[in-house]
Structure 1
Amino acid sequence: MKTIRSEHFKISAPVKLSEVPTFYNVETSEKKKEKELQKVREKLSKLQDKMYAHNRYGVLICLQGMDTAGKDSLIREVFKEFNARGVVVHSFKTPNSTELEHDYLWRHYVALPEKGKFSVFNRTHYENVLVTRVHPEYILNENIPGIENVADITPQFWDNRFESINAFEKHISSNGVVILKFFLHLSKEEQRQRLMRRLETEKHNWKFSPGDLKERALWDQYTQCYEEAINRTSKPHAPWFIVPADNKETARFIVAKTILDELEKYTDIKEPEMDDKIRENIALYREFLSKEK
């Protein structure tokens, strides 16, 4: 099997999405990929237990991608070995009335991981420079001072949002949140085929919405917005990884292996040692418990 390393997919220089492949050949069978994914899942599960005991870092996994990119199934397959107490998945949809009474980052801030835990954002705070940029009329729902109509949304408005997002991620990173952001890079043809399967396979019919076709018609606009967002916000403390997503099994393995590679760089993550006073009295505690038989 082809060696996978996180550096292969990390964005450390400006990229053009049109030049990044959506398919990656790992040179092995689907069965072998599943076995390798299982090994990585088990390692991640053990690492998460250690992080929980260490209680210093939280991990934020951000997943973005076009419709049908495979975010839901990826979450299910990558995190299935985790202790349920160690990972929380947040699927962010259209802001509700309560969320709209706060700034656009508020609902994401309150969903950040506790120390020792993982939070997975299925769609993220980047929707605020993606969907709202393609559909700027959505911004009007936020009741921002000085924004009365779409014409008031200037290029400076988006510059300010990127600055805010970078500041947000810098702040939480400096307070112990490990940030890993993944863009599931899907080809337009593969999306067409997946939408067709939703229509043709009865158990997947519920996933299809006519709105999917309306958004698909805006493919080029979304691609441009994703490209700018990735280039402006991939930082050493909050890197983006572009994951070829035309093959779901390969994408899952790449994401899992990348998370493992990046977290293993934190060599200070260790299980806490037993208190010296407790260690000195282990024999006494054993004797106490033995007498209860």
Structure 2
Amino acid sequence: MGKRARLDDFQVPFQNGDQARKAFSLADFDPGAKPFSAGSKLADRERLASYAVKLDEMQERLHAQRRERVLLVLQGMDTSGKDGTIRAVFHEVDPLGLRIATFRVPTPDEAAHDFLWRVHRQAPAAGELTIFNRSHYEDVLVPRIRGEVDADELARRYAHIRHFETLLADSGTAILKCFLHISKDQQRERLQARIDDETKHWKFDLADLEAREHWDAYQSAYAEALAATSTERAPWYVVPADSKSHRNVMVAALLLRVFESLNLEYPPAKASLQGITIK
């Protein structure tokens, strides 16, 4: 019987030096694997439902305390399921303390500032769970593929990201970064499904096909970025995402573990309210 998978088996190692980072490869992770599946889509949905209830309770405690912050970063190739993960994992979570930030092509105003300016403004406030649907990592991926930055600038940006995430962690932010890892074949099927279904045409962008032509380059760019920025306080996890139900379960399990590590409790009861009866 093989060794049972652990969440930490999918954590990107904390590595130092160019040679160590080059040793990390996404090819070592099977996007079709389902190590945390409950055995079927139905069983996965049932497990996710139980996780969702727990996440709602944990997020309520986080919001009530208004002390810690939680940041979930979702990255991945087009169709890897960032939107779907958010819909599935957080369907039970009270939106009062939940916020989603999406980072698209920088506006002229954003482009006039440093690349982290627009991102820092979206960092979670005390008591808030914030999800980055794409993130500051777009600014080390896309420019690299397009040849807009050289190796020295990339190294500087990786360093800036590590320092930025350390600042957030020092300020009470628990950070979880998930790379939703899909195969090229699975992406083809999902893109084709958007073309074949007229109600999904709005989700299709010809730019997705352009990015697909650079699949290997993106895989290499992601691997380098993950290896260069996975740290003890802001770790990256590779989430096999060909199976949507498995993807959702694994992200929920990872996030639940983050919440549990915070030892969140409701604020102390108010003595001034003892004995009060509402008439």
In the superposition, the TM-score normalised over structure 2's length comes to 0.91
| 1:147 alignment partner in structure 2 | none
Distance (Å, rounded) in 2 between the aligned partners of 1:133 and 1:121: 21
The Cα of 1:40 is off from its aligned counterpart by 0.1
2:82 paired residue number = 71
Equivalent position of 1:102 in the other structure: 113
Tell me, in whole angstroms, the C-alpha distance in 1 between the residues paired with 2:129 and 2:200. 29
Q: Which residue in 1 is equivalent to 2:18?
A: none
Q: How does 1:129-168 map to 2 (within 5 A)?
A: 129-137=140-148, 153-168=149-164
Corresponding residue of 1:19: 28
Which residue of the partner structure matches residue 228 of structure 1? 224
Is 1:40 equivalent to 2:51 in the alignment?
Answer: yes
The alpha carbon displacement at 1:49 in A equals 0.5
Report SS of the residue matched to 2:122: coil
Question: Alignment partner for residue 170 of structure 1, among 159, 166, 178?
Answer: 166
Shift of 1:101: 2.2
Choose from 43, 55, 60 the match for 1:49.
60
Task: Name stretches of at least 5 consecutive residues in structure 1 with no aligned partner.
Answer: 138-152
Q: 1:84 to 1:95 in 2, by over 3 A?
A: same
Q: Which residue of 2 aligns with 1:125?
A: 136
5+ unaligned residues in a row in structure 2: which ranges? Answer: 15-20
Q: Where do 1:266-277 residues align within 5 Å? A: 266-267=262-263, 269-275=264-270, 277=271
Match of 1:249 among 237, 245, 260: 245
3-state secondary structure, aligned to 1:183: strand
Distance in 2 of aligned mates of 1:121 and 1:154: 26
TM-score by length of 1: 0.87
Match of 2:99 in 1: 88
TM-superposed deviation, 1:64: 0.4
Which structure's CA Rg is the greater one?
A: 1
> In 2, Cα distance between the equivalents of 1:178 and 1:77?
21
Shift of 1:251: 0.3
2:179 aligns with one of 164, 167, 183: 183
Aligned equivalents of 1:120 and 1:136: distance in 2? 29
Cα distance in 1 between the residues matched to 2:197 and 2:39: 28
1:102-142: CA deviation from partner (whole Å, max 9, x where unpaired)? 211011100011111111111000001101111134xxxxx
2:81–2:244 CA contact under 8 A, matched in 1: yes
Q: State the identity %.
A: 36
Q: How much has 1:212 moved relative to structure 2?
A: 1.4
Find out whether 1:214 has 2:220 as its counterpart: no
Deviations 1:61-107 (A, max 9, x none): 10000011011111111111111111111111000112112211011
Could you say what secondary structure the match of 1:39 adopts? helix
Q: Is 2:38–2:44's contact at 8 Å kept on the other side of the alignment? A: no
Bigger shift: residues 13-22 or 228-237: 13-22
| 1:27 CA displacement | 5.2
> Secondary structure of the equivalent of 2:107?
coil
Instruction: Quote the offset at 1:209 in angstroms.
Output: 2.1
State how many pairs are aligned: 267
RMSD between superposed Cα atoms in Å? 1.7
Distance apart, 1:207 and its partner CA: 1.7
CA distance in 2 between partners of 1:235 and 1:223 (Å): 20
